[in-house]
Amino acid sequence: LELIMTDWVAKLLDLPEEFTHASGKGGGVIQFHSAMDDPVMNGYEHVLSIMVACYQIKVSRCQFKLSQYQLSLSRSNKRLGMHEHANLLLRGSRRVALDTGSKHMLPVVAHKKADQHPQAKTCSASDCMLVCMLAARHHAIQRHKHVFQEKGDPNPENAVLSRLVAYGSNLAHSCVEKASVICVVKFHQIDVDENYSVRGEALQVAMEEDIKNGLIPFFVCATLGTTACCSFDDLKTIGPVCDNFNVWLHVDGAYAGNALICPEFRHYLQGIEHVWSMNINPNKWMLVGFDCSLMW
């Protein structure tokens, strides 16, 4: 039934055939939360929240040592490069569970709304964003690590990770930046034009600048219907830029994506053929009475 429903909605939105299960190339999934579910989180989210908590605690413990290390290097007229910075933060990650007491992790599950602990959201566009960015990160690491292997780098995956950068509008939902924090990648906000839209020209300038600085563009989030003012990023100019740089293009249509079922709004989908993934929230405009996200 899930396959049938996601294919049906994809056809209503007039998405490319590759987005459907029937094509044999893609397909969608449904994430939802009902009153019958765990009122807090499911097992997957428990593990994710605990891992994020471990990461944050580990980073906070390293901050003082990192600042002292940077100070000592500056005194000797040296600079801490991106690769060394990432290695310092990620060093010992295999032992992070041993370094972090359970008393720091349990409140994440029991009090997810507490200000002093990381928060988690269930079955929302935020979940879709994180999953897609993680997939894009894995794809980028596998594609670029050979460059550092050939240079004899002992940690080629860390070398790539320390250089990855994601992009999104300065009007994009906060889940984009939050996903970049969890993925341990940089986030570059792109300024919008007079119509509050990101255009390909601005994105290309940002990517070229980052590449000159030794960074690796790997993920772009285009928003179709921003939360602040329901503006639409220009897919038809963003898409070719992402193709040229071989960057994963995700569409966040959580707020207004449902409206694209209407033919009169279909022009906002021009350029959808360049998109790698997309999500909408039927619980907003499709009369679904519980938290629900569709992701292709």
Q: If you write DSSP's letter for every residue of 58-114 in order, what string do you get?
A: HHHHHHHHHHHHHHHHHHTT----HHHHHHHHHTTGGGHHHHS-HHHHHHHHHTTT-
Q: pLDDT grade, residue 117 (50/70/90)?
A: very low
H or E segment to which residue 188 belongs: strand 186-190
Copy the structure tokens of residue 142: 């596998």
Quick one: pLDDT at residue 199? 96
In a domain, 249, yes or no: yes
In a domain, 278, yes or no: yes
Considering the chain, what is the average pLDDT of its residues? 75
| 195: pLDDT strictly greater than 80 | yes
Q: Are strands 277-280 and 248-253 parallel, antiparallel or unpaired?
A: parallel
In a domain, 247, yes or no: yes
Among candidate residues 139, 157, 137, 138, the one with its CA nearest the CA of residue 149: 157
Quick one: pLDDT at residue 229? 92
Domain that holds residue 265: 163-295
In a domain, 80, yes or no: no
| 148: pLDDT strictly greater than 50 | yes
Torsion sign (Cα): 268, 269, 275, 276: positive
Quick one: pLDDT at residue 81? 43
| 101: pLDDT strictly greater than 70 | no
Backbone angles phi, psi at 65, to 5 degrees: -65, -40
Quick one: pLDDT at residue 31? 62
In a domain, 193, yes or no: yes
Quick one: pLDDT at residue 52? 62
Quick one: pLDDT at residue 281? 83
In a domain, 60, yes or no: no
The CATH number assigned to the domain holding 173 equals 3.40.640.10
| 97: pLDDT strictly greater than 60 | no
In a domain, 104, yes or no: no
In a domain, 264, yes or no: yes
Beta bridge partner(s), residue 282: none
Quick one: pLDDT at residue 68? 52
Model-wide pTM > 0.85: no
How many domains is the chain built from?
1
